[in-house]
Chains A and B, each alone.
Chain A
């Protein structure tokens, strides 16, 4: 039974790339288009990790992280944020909200897998 990762991004191509890469690496992937969609799809379901974009409509990445950290079930799971270039403030805000780490876009599939392996242990 592979570990389950939720990938949240409003860009379909990023979602496709992330889920394809992670599935190839043996993970199960659930995708969501924004924070609200993610929370709806999770609905208390057990997952091992979340990868989320920051800039998204409805509920952005920071908001999503904050909400997840507020729930006992997701309090300690790794959450990785996808940031573009060096958005220092965004990154700080994300960390303050409880993100585990970040991946800077653009990234290569191998980098994504490396980070996932790193935080999932």
Chain B
């Protein structure tokens, strides 16, 4: 490849040398002919220029001396003499010899000729040899050094388009170098009538974090650096930490957009310096915006770095993890089948293998699920802002205290927990925490407190939103419940049950509707969302002291421990987390209840749902049925089934669209032998029953 080009160069050089010889001879006759001098110079120039490209360094060095002299000749500083022509012809022969590869390196003759040419140049005109100057796209040192963040303020010359440069492609090029943010500065754009469409009025503030060094950035701007405004500053050398980066005002001062004394004056006025500056028109909107982006950029970069250093973790797309958990789910199913087969075969070898597989599968499952766990703090942190904004809007003074931010929850659970928690916090601020004057009168501090806590309890996570506000008003709630027809005024009801009413659809005691709450949607939505997560919610409140809302959630939604039961030939799974015990239900028990669906369990009256009836399953129930007692929201309700088989690791599969709305069923799972078992939504089953019982 290279040889082909070298050959082409050689041929071209021969032609040029022939032309050079011809021109030199003609020049001897007519030493003043500028056209001829030009031809000589160009021939030399091309021999040198192209020679360098194809690796003829000796020719380049030699021709350079000759060319330099003829450059002077061209400028009229050195006259054309016979001696010069003689010397040049000798040089031409020498170049030819070098081209043929015949001339020994640094031959005496060559040295003499070069010295002679140098002698022709007036002193001080000696220029440096042909050294390549920094090439625009030289090799870049990749990944060297630590990432440094630069602020680049690029103000293209107005006529930058006329040099064929697209400033956007420069920005694009910068983007390739690392973490990149840009803010356009549009202040200089004139009115439409004054715009010259061929001019560039926009400038850019760019924030770039790169480990490629300043040279890489300078290379991007190499063609425009002379004419355009370019200011590159290091704003973070990678040593700082996320929180201690400059404040907005400091950034503006550091950039010279604001002077220090004004900053002090504004800081004295209040903390929201950006707004104040904008109002006064002291700093333009673009500049403030740019400073904000700078702040955010540096913080993000620093945080990322800290995370990377701190955890030495690997980022994996969530979809991959989901896939893994899916596969583990399949594996658990197959493993259950293997265990079943081993038992059926009664082969000790197979049984020992099956047990080994079971143990490993169990570990694998726990590990896989653990990978999807995220600390709840990731959503907690957003709430500080929410509380701050809301309390300002509603004229409350509220401090949010969070505890247990490190508590881990399955990612899918966490994602769906955000909205309910937002609702609860809003409620606490709007309904719970009283206005400061009311609080002071009641002898409480003017600042209300909302405590948001999370902790583990077995296979559950308990999340609490607790405020020190006025508490729920028993009488109002009761009156409203009566008004809605859920209660009679005489009904004795526990606080817990009463409070449950506020989570019923359409219930609102707010006397006026605010933008935040009072429309009667809210708590029922929260309840639904929590229940959809297989969780439960409980309200506790003391007048004048405050309200605590407790949410209990399972750690994960993908695989649950279930209790496998049968009705006729069908299999069902009850989530083990809601099951407290199983008791027998005999025909006599049924007869004793006089048609009411209640059973006496250890001196406690427990209503039950007869699933065989509920699901319209034909056939006769066995003489002794089983009641699976569940406890949810503090209420015990039994589910009557034919037989209880035992605990079962249940991989939850969602149902197809046709079945999704089936009441009382939350999903399905596959048993060891491939049979489908439906997963019961205990809460939904129980709810219908409860409402019925209460009205009775």
Seen from chain A, the residues whose Cβ lies within 8 Å of a Cβ on chain B are 10-14, 16-17, 20, 49, 53, 55-57, 69, 75-79, 82, 84-86, 95, 98-107, 110-111, 114-115, 118-121
A84 contacts B54, C-beta separation under 8 Å: no
A13 to B132, CA, bound (A): 19
Partner of A105, one of B11, B38, B53, B162: B53
Contact with A along B39-58 (1 / 0, CB 8 A): 10110011011101110000
A82 to B166, CA, bound (A): 20
A99 to B8, CA, bound (A): 28
Partner of B132, one of A17, A104, A115: A104
User: B239 an interface residue at 8 Å Cβ cutoff?
Assistant: no
A111 to B164, CA, bound (A): 19
B9 contacts A13, C-beta separation under 8 Å: yes
Distance in Å from the Cβ of B228 to the closest Cβ of chain A?
A: 12
A118-B137 contact, Cβ under 8 Å, with A98-B163, A99-B163, A106-B53? yes
A53 to B50, CA, bound (A): 11
Partner of B8, one of A13, A57, A79: A13
Name 13 A/B residue pairs within 8 A (Cβ), A-sorted.
Answer: A10-B42, A12-B12, A13-B5, A14-B46, A16-B8, A17-B53, A85-B131, A86-B128, A101-B222, A105-B50, A105-B52, A106-B52, A106-B60
Excluding A84-B130, A119-B223, 9 further A-B contacts by CB distance (< 8 Å) are: A10-B42, A10-B46, A17-B54, A55-B45, A86-B133, A95-B227, A100-B165, A103-B135, A115-B136
A13 contacts B164, C-beta separation under 8 Å: no
Would you list the 5 A-B pairs with minimal beta carbon distance, nearest first? A114-B137, A106-B52, A121-B169, A101-B223, A13-B9
Distance in Å from the Cβ of A61 to the closest Cβ of chain B?
A: 12
Seen from chain B, the residues whose Cβ lies within 8 Å of a Cβ on chain A are 5, 8-9, 11-12, 38-39, 41-42, 45-46, 48-50, 52-54, 60, 128, 130-133, 135-138, 161-166, 168-169, 172-173, 198, 220, 222-223, 226-227
A100 contacts B135, C-beta separation under 8 Å: no
CB-nearest residue of chain B to A79: B164
Partner of A11, one of B41, B49, B173, B222: B49
CB-nearest residue of chain B to A69: B162
A75 contacts B136, C-beta separation under 8 Å: no
CB-nearest residue of chain B to A13: B9
A11 contacts B50, C-beta separation under 8 Å: yes
With a cutoff of 8 Å between Cβ atoms, the chain B residues found around residue A115 in the complex are 136-137
B136 contacts A13, C-beta separation under 8 Å: no
A14 to B163, CA, bound (A): 24
With a cutoff of 8 Å between Cβ atoms, the chain B residues found around residue A53 in the complex are 49
With a cutoff of 8 Å between Cβ atoms, the chain B residues found around residue A95 in the complex are 163, 226-227
A11-B135 contact, Cβ under 8 Å, with A76-B161, A77-B164? no
Distance in Å from the Cβ of B156 to the closest Cβ of chain A?
A: 13
With a cutoff of 8 Å between Cβ atoms, the chain B residues found around residue A111 in the complex are 135-138
Distance in Å from the Cβ of A36 to the closest Cβ of chain B?
A: 15
A11 contacts B130, C-beta separation under 8 Å: no
A11-B137 contact, Cβ under 8 Å, with A84-B130, A100-B163? no
Distance in Å from the Cβ of B480 to the closest Cβ of chain A?
A: 66
Partner of A104, one of B133, B165, B166, B169: B133
CB-nearest residue of chain A to B15: A12
With a cutoff of 8 Å between Cβ atoms, the chain A residues found around residue B41 in the complex are 55
With a cutoff of 8 Å between Cβ atoms, the chain A residues found around residue B137 in the complex are 110-111, 114-115, 118
A98 contacts B162, C-beta separation under 8 Å: yes
With a cutoff of 8 Å between Cβ atoms, the chain B residues found around residue A86 in the complex are 128, 131, 133
Partner of B136, one of A78, A79, A101: A101
A13 contacts B162, C-beta separation under 8 Å: no
A104 to B164, CA, bound (A): 19
CB-nearest residue of chain B to A88: B133
With a cutoff of 8 Å between Cβ atoms, the chain A residues found around residue B45 in the complex are 55, 84
CB-nearest residue of chain A to B71: A87
With a cutoff of 8 Å between Cβ atoms, the chain B residues found around residue A17 in the complex are 5, 8, 53-54
CB-nearest residue of chain A to B8: A13
A17 to B11, CA, bound (A): 14
A70 to B163, CA, bound (A): 12
A55-B42 contact, Cβ under 8 Å, with A107-B135, A121-B166? yes
With a cutoff of 8 Å between Cβ atoms, the chain B residues found around residue A121 in the complex are 166, 168-169, 172
A78-B164 contact, Cβ under 8 Å, with A10-B46, A121-B169? yes
With a cutoff of 8 Å between Cβ atoms, the chain A residues found around residue B48 in the complex are 84
A82 to B165, CA, bound (A): 17
A100 contacts B53, C-beta separation under 8 Å: no
Distance in Å from the Cβ of B209 to the closest Cβ of chain A?
A: 21
Distance in Å from the Cβ of B577 to the closest Cβ of chain A?
A: 59
Distance in Å from the Cβ of B58 to the closest Cβ of chain A?
A: 14
B165 contacts A57, C-beta separation under 8 Å: no
Partner of B165, one of A55, A69, A85, A119: A119
A56 to B38, CA, bound (A): 10
CB-nearest residue of chain A to B173: A118
B50 contacts A85, C-beta separation under 8 Å: no
A100 contacts B172, C-beta separation under 8 Å: no
CB-nearest residue of chain B to A105: B49
A91 to B52, CA, bound (A): 19
With a cutoff of 8 Å between Cβ atoms, the chain B residues found around residue A104 in the complex are 132-133, 135
A107 to B175, CA, bound (A): 26
B54 contacts A119, C-beta separation under 8 Å: no
Partner of A13, one of B54, B222, B223, B226: B54
A98 to B161, CA, bound (A): 9
A13 contacts B163, C-beta separation under 8 Å: no
Counting chain B CB atoms within 10 Å of each CB, the highest count among A10, A110, A115 belongs to A10
With a cutoff of 8 Å between Cβ atoms, the chain B residues found around residue A103 in the complex are 135-136
Distance in Å from the Cβ of B483 to the closest Cβ of chain A?
A: 69
A33 to B223, CA, bound (A): 25
A78 to B5, CA, bound (A): 27
A100-B136 contact, Cβ under 8 Å, with A11-B49, A55-B42, A105-B52? no
A13 to B8, CA, bound (A): 5
With a cutoff of 8 Å between Cβ atoms, the chain A residues found around residue B128 in the complex are 85-86
A85 contacts B133, C-beta separation under 8 Å: yes
With a cutoff of 8 Å between Cβ atoms, the chain B residues found around residue A16 in the complex are 5, 8
Distance in Å from the Cβ of A88 to the closest Cβ of chain B?
A: 10
A14-B50 contact, Cβ under 8 Å, with A75-B162, A98-B164? yes
A76 contacts B135, C-beta separation under 8 Å: no
A78 contacts B46, C-beta separation under 8 Å: no
B165 contacts A78, C-beta separation under 8 Å: yes
Partner of A114, one of B9, B133, B136: B136
With a cutoff of 8 Å between Cβ atoms, the chain A residues found around residue B162 in the complex are 69, 75-76, 98
With a cutoff of 8 Å between Cβ atoms, the chain B residues found around residue A100 in the complex are 163-165, 223
A66 to B54, CA, bound (A): 30
CB-nearest residue of chain A to B48: A84
A57 to B223, CA, bound (A): 26
CB-nearest residue of chain B to A100: B164
With a cutoff of 8 Å between Cβ atoms, the chain B residues found around residue A10 in the complex are 42, 46
With a cutoff of 8 Å between Cβ atoms, the chain A residues found around residue B5 in the complex are 13, 16-17, 20
With a cutoff of 8 Å between Cβ atoms, the chain A residues found around residue B9 in the complex are 13
B223 contacts A102, C-beta separation under 8 Å: yes
CB-nearest residue of chain B to A92: B226
CB-nearest residue of chain A to B169: A121
A57 contacts B53, C-beta separation under 8 Å: no
B164 contacts A76, C-beta separation under 8 Å: yes
A85 contacts B136, C-beta separation under 8 Å: no
With a cutoff of 8 Å between Cβ atoms, the chain B residues found around residue A56 in the complex are 42
